[in-house]
Amino acid sequence: MSAVDTLFSGLRQQGEKAFIPFITAGDPNLKATSELLSALVAQGSHLCEIGIPYSDPIADGPVIQASYTRVLNSGIGLDEIFQMLKETAPSLNAPVVTMVSHAIIHRRGLANYVSAAKESHVAGLIVPDLPVEESADLAAVCKAEDISLIQLITPNTPADRVQRIIDATTGFIYYVSVVGITGERQTLPEEIIESVQSVRDKTDLPICIGFGISTPEHVRLLAPVADGIIVGSAIVRRYASSESISPRQDAGLDTETVRKVGEYVKTLTHALATC
């Protein structure tokens, strides 16, 4: 079992759901990423998703795209991100998974990338631009390293393809709640509950819902059909708006920004815990 499997097994036994924050690796600097991970876990996050910056993001909205651009312009590389995770992840009481383009994995080589991720205490990979039809090679490498290969299902995924994705997924299903790109939304589609339930009827895998989620009300709406709730753009926007951000890798974040992000996340973890 991967660390992701172990987490969800324990949560299910306790009747709990996972809160999963997303932040971009290296934004605004690597020390800040490390500080944010610790703060997010301290406020009740169960698993952390880290975005590996890429010049051509697949489904990311303007907030996350801008964060990727800041990191790429700063010159932070993949090896530096892995080193930060190697130093930070062991102290977190939560697994870390990465959202990463298959182009980055392919460039490094499947076995080399997964081995480096394993050494950096990464527990799972989310690869949004990897079609399920082409995922077998990476799935085999991940299985050998006990790393989950988490795949995505959207509201537009045809029923026959849903089952193919389920069969090729380990860790959890990432269910995309809305059609389109990431970003905060005022409302979520009315049909989402029924759509998620149709996937749940086909699998025992945990289902975690992301895209567009930003309020305690969203969390309460989705909690009955979700095993986990993923929030990204709303968190990234809150730390990116700090006026004291520095790209210096040893700068970290100012205490007030970390506090504000933590307080926001606490409202979401509290909503999830009380559903």
Q: Residue 52 and residue 71: Cα distance in Å, rounded?
A: 9
Which member of 60, 79, 145, 204 is catalytic? 60
CA of residue 92 relative to chain centroid, distance: 15
One-letter amino acid for residue 146 of the chain: D
Task: List the beta bridge partners of residue 21.
Answer: 231
Active site residue 243: no
Active-site residue, 49 included: yes
Q: Which of 16, 49, 133, 184 is catalytic?
A: 49
Phi and psi angles of residue 119, each rounded to the nearest 5 degrees, phi first? -65, -25
Active site residue ranges: 49, 60
